[in-house]
């Protein structure tokens, strides 16, 4: 939630038509140990060492919001910087105002809503993209721009704390985000009590 730990691994993204043996002989030498299995893949590019063609490869290299395809009971996301890739099963989204989105998704309001539509799988949850699309995200308007900027500032502080210590307690910051999100959704005191489990 808000934080991640790098696995210490590097990905060789060898494109659809890159001549790896000629351009990157050391990489090719490393890949030779995987040749037999790589040749069996259905999703190769021009050669066994290539990735298949894909129109959205550039999206993987952008700053992105990432969430696990299968996970625990909460809908937790993290903001991942450029040039950082993710393993599967996982989903990601690129675009503008990702910190705003992160604050909204982690709010008690959206967690309450998501609990009503999520798909249970054993002791965890399967996070389908179609479920994510069902979440009503308040649009940014001139009237709520100030609130949105406050949410983004608090998300920045939360991300900074998690970067320094992935186990940092950011509860106070997240509580402040909740209060702003209640305003965005126009919740009254009784509805807030329901979201917070008091009713």
Q: Which helix (H) or strand (E) holds 92?
A: strand 90-93
pLDDT for position 16? 85
CA dist list (Å): 129 to 70, 133, 134, 136, 164: 11, 6, 9, 14, 30
Mean per-residue pLDDT of the chain = 88
pLDDT for position 181? 97
Over residues 152-176, the pLDDT tens digits come to 999 999 999 998 998 899 999 999 9
Q: Is the pLDDT of residue 136 over 80?
A: yes
pLDDT for position 176? 97
Would you state the torsion angle of the CA atoms of residues 34, 54, 118, 161, taken in this order, to the nearest 10 degrees?
80
Starting at the edge strand that comes first in sequence, how are the strands of the sheet with 70-71 ordered?
A: 70-71, 124-126, 119-121
pLDDT for position 75? 76
pLDDT for position 173? 97
Q: Which two three-digit tokens encode residue 78?
A: 């993290």
Over residues 25-71, the pLDDT tens digits come to 999 999 999 999 999 988 888 899 998 888 888 898 899 998 877 76
CA dist list (Å): 18 to 22, 40, 41, 50, 178: 9, 19, 17, 7, 48
Over residues 108-126, the pLDDT tens digits come to 999 898 888 777 777 777 7
């Amino acid at each position: 939630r808000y934080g991640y730990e790098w696995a210490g691994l590097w990905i060789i993204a060898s494109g659809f038509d890159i001549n790896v043996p000629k351009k990157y002989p050391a990489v090719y030498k490393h890949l030779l140990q995987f040749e037999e299995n790589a040749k069996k893949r259905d999703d190769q590019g021009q050669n066994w060492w290539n990735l298949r063609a894909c129109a959205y490869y550039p999206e993987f290299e952008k700053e992105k919001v990432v969430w696990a395809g299968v996970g625990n009971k909460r809908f937790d996301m993290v903001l991942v910087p450029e040039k950082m890739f993710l393993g599967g099963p996982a989903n990601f989204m690129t675009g503008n105002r990702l910190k705003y989105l992160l604050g909204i998704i982690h709010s008690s309001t959206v967690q309450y809503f998501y609990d009503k539509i999520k798909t249970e799988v054993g002791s965890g949850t399967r996070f389908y993209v179609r479920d994510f699309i069902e979440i009503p995200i308040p649009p940014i308007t001139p009237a709520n721009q100030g609130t949105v900027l406050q949410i983004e500032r608090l998300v920045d502080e939360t991300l900074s704390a998690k970067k320094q210590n992935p186990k940092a307690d950011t509860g106070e910051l997240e509580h402040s985000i909740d209060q702003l999100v209640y305003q965005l959704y126009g919740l009254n005191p009784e509805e807030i009590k329901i979201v917070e489990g008091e009713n």
